[in-house]
Amino acid sequence: MLFQTFYVSKENSNCPLIADALRIEKKLKERNYPNAVVSQRFGKRVLINSINDGRGEDKDNFLEIVDYDPIKKVLLAMGPKEAKLETPLHWFIHHARNEIHAAVQINDVELSNRLKKTPKTEKEYSIVTIEQIKEVLKHLRNSKKVVIKNQGVLFVGSDINEVEKLILEEIK
Distance CA 26, CA 37 (A): 12
Count how many residues are written for the chain. Answer: 172
> What digits encode the pLDDT tens for the residues 130-156?
899 999 999 999 999 999 998 999 999
Read out DSSP for 93-148? Answer: HHHH-TT--EEEEE--HHHHHH-TTS-B-SS---TT-HHHHHHHHHHTTT-SEEEE
Taken in order of first residue, the domains within the chain and their CATH numbers are: 4-171 (3.40.225.10)
CA atoms within 13 A on the CB side of 165: 7
- Residue 1 pLDDT more than 70? no
Alpha carbons 144 and 142: distance in angstroms, whole number: 7
pLDDT in tens, 5-18: 999 999 999 999 99
Beta strand 102-106 with 145-148 is unpaired
For the cut 80, the answer to whether the pLDDT of residue 172 exceeds it is: no
